A and B are shown apart, each in its own frame.
Chain A
Amino acid sequence: MTQSRMDTRPDESDVTQPTLGPVGTLRWAWRQLTSMRTALLLLLLLAIGAVPGSIWPQRNIDAGRVADYLATHRSTGPWLDRLGFFDVYSSPWFAAIYLLLFVSLVGCVVPRSKMHWRAMRAQPPRAPGRLERLPEHGQIEVDGAPEDVLQIARELLRRRQFLGRYCRLRSDDLSLSAESGYLRETGNLVFHSALIVVIVAVAVGHLFGWRGDRILVTGNSFSNTISAYDTFDPGPWVDTEGLSPFTVAVDKLDVTFEEHASGAQRGAARDFTAYTRTQTSPDAPWVHQILKVNGPLTFGGTSVFLLGNGYAPVITVRDASGQVLMHDATPFLPQDSNYKSVGAIKVSAASPKQLGFFGFFLPSEYLDKDAGPSSFFPDLKNPALALGVYEGELYPQGRPQSVYTLSTEKMTQLRNAQGEPLRLMLKPGQTAELPDGRGSITFDGVKRWAGLSIRYDPGKLLALGGAVAVLAGLIASLVIRRRRVFVRVRAAGRRTVVSVGGLAKGEDPGLGVTIEDLLSAIAQRSGTKT
């Protein structure tokens, strides 16, 4: 550097910055990641990152609403989808936040545990020279020799009232150090470690857990095998062959709706009770059990929940000669709070063309001017079936399809004499003749179905245990005070001056009072009149 400079600051190029090297850089990154400030930042990111999942519909909760959203928001929808806004809690960016937080947690808990282990076994530090510099302190003069006064202070500090039962003492010549509240840090570490346990438990549930759903019409039963489920959603490491071999039969389903209130509460569900028979294995005896919302059935670690219900009209379809082609209860899916339900009846035995009925089941039928056939109450006050009829090929190319809808691409709708689409309106017990000798359809009656959800989550007890430990650790870390109290004595003629100073970790408004109480107790025990 030959040129002169006005600036007196050192030229940055002159400063030889220590090169970190790969190991050093890693160590630096690790320090940053495990620092409390980063943890705080990640916590806030986690809070912000969780919010979109409550605003936009989520695939794991309601895939139908996601599809609706994408259909109505053609420009923004695909972008939101690409950014994972419909699968927030399994999106890479959300995973990045919680994984970093997880690493940060581990990186914080491990070294702190080591430190705490050492601190718990170490002696409190020697009393500092000038106790009046400590945040809380006090001083009095008492009768008696310094050694005796110190002995009194030592005995007093052993008592529970000042620093609790787990107080560690250290005696030096003319001073005394006491430390207590180690459990505060223990609680803190338990809190953080238990959070790790909860996260692990959630992961276990995700990997080894499964859920299946099944709609079961009353009078029927199902066994716990994959083929029995309408939908089955296993975790990646589930042994699908090893499901526990129980059987559940639903004999009867009682449903009560609000009859007396008006307004929004009218027709609200009040009680669902399923009367079931269960077997833990094919050879075991049948047991009668009641299944309710909030009252699942359990088979080992697997639980059966009653989550939904609806109606299954019992229908008989006959051909022109009166031969029964189909006689079955077909579940219809409720669409609104008054159980206007949609469903399809597929008669594959009909010939020459297969028959399909598609339409609504209405537990309390009335004709709405705009919406057509509707239901005014969820219970069976005026049950009716409103159906359209199709003929043709029910399962083109054998493709899988929903049991609740007809795939009409290879079917044609039947029409009446006026050329309008044929509509059947049936009450229980009624039979309708189909045109041109296609046979007849009879609405025999209505059964109910129970929507059962069967879940297995091997991580849930671990999660509960972890959560309880989180709470216990949290309370300990907030309630217990970590304190250091020092006592120093000094002769002043025939009397003794006692100084007490205290130091607390975090907020501790009670420390000053404790020191006052200690001082007055010393005065009292040493016989000093105050």
Chain B
Amino acid sequence: MTNQTLAQYANLGVYSAMAVFTLAMIAFAVDLAGAAPKVQAAASETQKEPALVGGGRSDDARVFAVRGDVAGLPRTRRAAGVAMMLTRLGGLLLIAAAAMRGLSVQRPPLGNMFEFALVGSMFVVVVFLAISLRRDIRWLGLFVVGPVLLTLGLAITVFYTDASELLPSLKSVWLVIHVTVATFSVALFTIAFSVTILHLIKAWLEVQDPAGMSRMRTIVNTALPPARSLDRTAYGIHAVAFPLWTFTLIAGAIWAEQAWGHYWNWDPKEVWTFVIWVIYAAYLHARATTGWSARAANYLALAGFGAILINYTVVNVFFVGQHSYSGM
């Protein structure tokens, strides 16, 4: 039933993608390091912005933020261009790898931890590339490609599972619906997590005196968009991911009802999916609650991602439940 040759090609695709992402990561890092020379110009530019507000354009800071052109000045960013090309190539390799893995087992490649990691990484890269079509988020590249590389490395070594068929309880159209959406929203949460961390760093740097900053901090401070815009981006991605996670929960309940006869049974995976939902609900709730700072809310978002990591690793491998499909 399973075509092992094709599965081997899929693994080859993963290895190639990892090589390409390594190069992309280096190129992104080189690009960020290059942000330093424009420090003075960028700093003065940032100071000028408030004066522009109230002119014909209602809020230049906003436009600036949306476009995300970090330095504010044309900076030749050849390294970033190379990095983006490499990321696209890596993305294509991942899509090919996922497709070959799926073909090798003649089902959607969503049956075990290796396959979740592969498809999840693919979604992360695809979402990153999709957003970058609409605005310049090259500053985020390093913080997307890095986690993807780490995930793929773990997937091909620790989580690796031979290509094979599914357990009977997984043979359902809901596998495609439930797990695809779950993986996709985890991909979004991952990107949002990176942006949230960057926001916290940037917010911390913004209150410091630019003159007294170390070189490293200056680079980071220059390379990142303003904290306000980072915060808005993170919130926006979370606001898309949360309804998708809600859908995951509902679709999972419908499927559980069909496969196991109860839509909710407090299985460890169900518990953690619920915990993640509650934490992110609290995050969105905190954003709307007066008396809660955006920073405290952002810590909730980080906690939510921590729960996602636990849900994927600890719950899959160590907890006994009906979702024990890690294949390990």
User: Would you give the shortest CB distance from A27 to chain B, in whole angstroms?
Assistant: 20
* Interface-located stretch among A74-82, A136-144, A219-227, A490-498: A136-144
Name the residue of chain B whose CB is nearest to the CB of A515.
Answer: B58
Is B259 touching A509 in the complex (CB atoms < 8 A)? no
- If over half of B's interface residues share one DSSP class (helix, strand or loop), that class is named, otherwise mixed; here it is helix
User: Would you give the shortest CB distance from A529 to chain B, in whole angstroms?
Assistant: 15
Is A467 touching B250 in the complex (CB atoms < 8 A)? yes
Is B328 touching A43 in the complex (CB atoms < 8 A)? no
Q: Does A426 belong to the interface (CB within 8 Å)?
A: no
Q: Does B9 belong to the interface (CB within 8 Å)?
A: no
* Interface-located stretch among A50-58, A165-173, A235-243: A50-58
Name the residue of chain B whose CB is nearest to the CB of A213.
Answer: B261
Which A residues are CB-close (under 8 A) to B320?
Answer: 57, 62, 65
User: Would you give the shortest CB distance from B54 to chain A, in whole angstroms?
Assistant: 6
Which A residues are CB-close (under 8 A) to B258?
Answer: 294-296
Which A residues are CB-close (under 8 A) to B259?
Answer: 293-294, 305
* 16 A–B pairs (Cβ distance < 8 Å), ordered by A: A47-B275, A50-B274, A50-B275, A53-B271, A61-B265, A137-B54, A137-B58, A260-B1, A269-B167, A455-B262, A460-B257, A474-B242, A478-B284, A507-B235, A507-B236, A512-B62
Is A296 touching B261 in the complex (CB atoms < 8 A)? yes
Is A457 touching B275 in the complex (CB atoms < 8 A)? no
Which A residues are CB-close (under 8 A) to B59?
Answer: 136, 512
- In residues 288-320 of chain B, which contact A (Cβ within 8 Å)? 288-292, 300, 307, 315, 319-320
The count of residues in chain B whose C-beta lies closer than 8 Å to any C-beta of chain A is 69
Q: Does B16 belong to the interface (CB within 8 Å)?
A: no
Specify which of A54, A138, A269, A507 is in contact with B232 (CB 8 Å cutoff): A507
- Binary interface profile of A, 15-36, with partner B (CB < 8 Å = 1, else 0)? 0000000000000000000001
Is B171 touching A305 in the complex (CB atoms < 8 A)? no
Name the residue of chain B whose CB is nearest to the CB of A454.
Answer: B261
User: Would you give the shortest CB distance from A506 to chain B, in whole angstroms?
Assistant: 7
Is B288 touching A509 in the complex (CB atoms < 8 A)? no
Which B residues are CB-close (under 8 A) to A186?
Answer: none
Specify which of B232, B246, B260, B328 is in contact with A474 (CB 8 Å cutoff): B246
Q: How far is the CA of A315 from the CA of B289 in the complex (A)?
A: 69
Is A58 touching B168 in the complex (CB atoms < 8 A)? no
Specify which of A44, A263, A463, A470 is in contact with B246 (CB 8 Å cutoff): A470
User: Would you give the shortest CB distance from A109 to chain B, in whole angstroms?
Assistant: 14
User: Would you give the shortest CB distance from A204 to chain B, in whole angstroms?
Assistant: 13
Q: How far is the CA of A202 from the CA of B253 in the complex (A)?
A: 12
Is B169 touching A264 in the complex (CB atoms < 8 A)? no
* Interface-located stretch among B36-44, B157-165, B203-211: B157-165
- How many A-B contacts if CB must be within 8 Å? 169
Q: Does A271 belong to the interface (CB within 8 Å)?
A: yes
Q: How far is the CA of A431 from the CA of B198 in the complex (A)?
A: 75
Specify which of A50, A54, A293, A457 is in contact with B171 (CB 8 Å cutoff): A293
Q: Does A275 belong to the interface (CB within 8 Å)?
A: no
Q: Does A122 belong to the interface (CB within 8 Å)?
A: no
- Binary interface profile of A, 223-255, with partner B (CB < 8 Å = 1, else 0)? 000000000000000000000000000000000
- Binary interface profile of A, 38-74, with partner B (CB < 8 Å = 1, else 0)? 0110011011001101110110111001000000000
Is B261 touching A89 in the complex (CB atoms < 8 A)? no
Is A268 touching B279 in the complex (CB atoms < 8 A)? no
- Given contact pairs A44-B279, A260-B2, A509-B232, A478 touches B162 in the complex (Cβ within 8 A): no
Q: Does B176 belong to the interface (CB within 8 Å)?
A: no
Which B residues are CB-close (under 8 A) to A467?
Answer: 249-250, 253
Specify which of A305, A468, A475, A516 is in contact with B57 (CB 8 Å cutoff): A516
Is A293 touching B253 in the complex (CB atoms < 8 A)? no
Is A43 touching B278 in the complex (CB atoms < 8 A)? yes
Q: How far is the CA of A261 from the CA of B2 in the complex (A)?
A: 9
Which A residues are CB-close (under 8 A) to B174?
Answer: 294
Specify which of B2, B54, B236, B292 is in contact with A40 (CB 8 Å cutoff): B292
The count of residues in chain A whose C-beta lies closer than 8 Å to any C-beta of chain B is 67
Name the residue of chain B whose CB is nearest to the CB of A474.
Answer: B243
Is B266 touching A453 in the complex (CB atoms < 8 A)? no
Specify which of A262, A307, A516 is in contact with B162 (CB 8 Å cutoff): A262
Which A residues are CB-close (under 8 A) to B253?
Answer: 463-464, 467
Q: How far is the CA of A507 from the CA of B228 in the complex (A)?
A: 11
- Binary interface profile of B, 37-65, with partner A (CB < 8 Å = 1, else 0)? 00000000000000000101111001000
Is B271 touching A50 in the complex (CB atoms < 8 A)? yes
Is A36 touching B62 in the complex (CB atoms < 8 A)? no
Is B164 touching A265 in the complex (CB atoms < 8 A)? yes
Which B residues are CB-close (under 8 A) to A260?
Answer: 1-2, 164
**Interface residues of B, Cβ cutoff 8 Å to A:** 1-2, 54, 56-59, 62, 66, 161-162, 164-169, 171-172, 174, 232, 235-236, 239, 242-243, 246-247, 249-250, 253-254, 257-268, 271-272, 274-275, 278-279, 281-282, 284-292, 300, 307, 315, 319-321, 327-328
Which B residues are CB-close (under 8 A) to A455?
Answer: 261-262
Q: How far is the CA of A244 from the CA of B168 in the complex (A)?
A: 29
Is B328 touching A264 in the complex (CB atoms < 8 A)? yes
Is B56 touching A140 in the complex (CB atoms < 8 A)? yes
- Given contact pairs A54-B272, A138-B56, A509 touches B62 in the complex (Cβ within 8 A): yes
- Given contact pairs A40-B292, A43-B278, A260-B2, A453 touches B168 in the complex (Cβ within 8 A): no
Which B residues are CB-close (under 8 A) to A433?
Answer: none
Q: How far is the CA of A251 from the CA of B134 in the complex (A)?
A: 60
User: Would you give the shortest CB distance from A191 to chain B, in whole angstroms?
Assistant: 9
Specify which of B57, B164, B232, B250 is in contact with A471 (CB 8 Å cutoff): B250
Q: How far is the CA of A296 from the CA of B254 in the complex (A)?
A: 13
Which A residues are CB-close (under 8 A) to B278?
Answer: 43-44, 46-47, 50
Which A residues are CB-close (under 8 A) to B266?
Answer: 53-54, 58, 60-61, 88-89
Is A464 touching B327 in the complex (CB atoms < 8 A)? no
Which B residues are CB-close (under 8 A) to A464?
Answer: 250, 253-254, 263
Which B residues are CB-close (under 8 A) to A292?
Answer: 168
Is A40 touching B271 in the complex (CB atoms < 8 A)? no
Q: How far is the CA of A263 from the CA of B164 in the complex (A)?
A: 11
Is A468 touching B250 in the complex (CB atoms < 8 A)? yes
Q: Can you add 14 more A-B contacts, CB < 8 Å, to A60-B265, A307-B261, A516-B57?
A: A37-B291, A40-B286, A47-B307, A61-B267, A62-B320, A261-B2, A268-B164, A293-B168, A294-B168, A296-B261, A305-B259, A467-B250, A507-B236, A509-B236
Is A258 touching B165 in the complex (CB atoms < 8 A)? yes
- In residues 295-312 of chain A, which contact B (Cβ within 8 Å)? 295-296, 303, 305, 307
Is A471 touching B261 in the complex (CB atoms < 8 A)? no
Name the residue of chain B whose CB is nearest to the CB of A500.
Answer: B58
- Binary interface profile of A, 280-299, with partner B (CB < 8 Å = 1, else 0)? 00000000000011111000
Name the residue of chain A whose CB is nearest to the CB of B288.
Answer: A506
Q: How far is the CA of A354 from the CA of B284 in the complex (A)?
A: 68
Q: How far is the CA of A455 from the CA of B236 in the complex (A)?
A: 41
Which A residues are CB-close (under 8 A) to B249?
Answer: 467
Q: Does A272 belong to the interface (CB within 8 Å)?
A: yes
